[in-house]
Amino acid sequence: MLLRVIGKRNKERALPLTEPTLAMLREVWKIHRSPKWLFANRNGTAPLSRKTARQAFNAARAACGYDDHFRPHTLRHSFATRLLEKGVDIRIVQMLLGHSSIRSTEIYTHLSEPLRRNLRQLLGDSFADLF
C-alpha cells in the first residue's frame, strides 16, 4: 500500500495509499496499462506531458468553480495544512512532502482557524486553574 513517487531532482519517496485512492488509480491504469507510468500518455509509452496535465488540472479547477489563483501547489499546501490541523507530527508531514529540511515544512505551520481553535482550547485548559 505504498506509491513510489519520483519527484524533483529525481528524488524518490514512498507515499501511503488509502483503499479509495488505490481503487481510483487502478481505474486510471486500465486506460493505458503502462507497466512503467501511472499517468502515462495515450500510448502508455511515456509519462503524461506537462501540457496535458496542466490542461486537465485547469479543466477540473474550472469545473469546481475555482479561479486562476487555485494552482497545483494549493493542493500541496492544503494537504500539509490539513495534516497539521489533524495533529500529524511535523516530521511525518516533512517526509510526505519530501522535504530534506524541517525548515521547508515549517512554512505550513501558519495558524489556520482550526489550529487557532485548538490553541485557544489548549491555552484555556492549561491556564484554567490560575484564576
pLDDT at 130 (0 to 100): 67
Provide the pLDDT for residue 131. 61
Contact in structure between 38 and 45 (CB atoms under 8 Å): no
Measured between alpha carbons, how far is 37 from 55 in angstroms, rounded to an integer? 19
pLDDT of residue 70: 95
Question: Tens digit of pLDDT for each residue in 74-92?
Answer: 998 889 988 988 889 999 9
Q: Where are the domains of the chain?
A: 1-66, 71-131
Helices 90-97, 72-85: crossing angle, 10 deg rounding = 160
User: What is the C-alpha separation between 42 and 39, in angstroms, rounded?
Assistant: 9
- Residue 6's DSSP bridge partners are 12
pLDDT in tens, 98-131: 888 999 898 887 756 776 777 777 777 777 776 6
User: Is 3 in a helix, a strand, or coil?
Assistant: strand
Q: Which residue has the higher pLDDT, 93 or 107?
A: 93
The pTM is what? 0.70
Residue pair 105/93 in contact (Cβ under 8 Å)? The answer is: yes
pLDDT digits (tens, 9 = 90+) for 17-76: 899 999 999 998 898 888 888 889 888 889 999 999 999 999 999 999 999 999 999 998
What per-residue confidence (pLDDT) applies to 44?
85
Identify the band that residue 9 occupies on the pLDDT scale cut at 50, 70 and 90. Answer: confident
Scored b (16 or more CB within 10 A) or e, 88-125 reads: eebeebbebbbbeeeeebeebeeeeeeeeeeeeeeeee
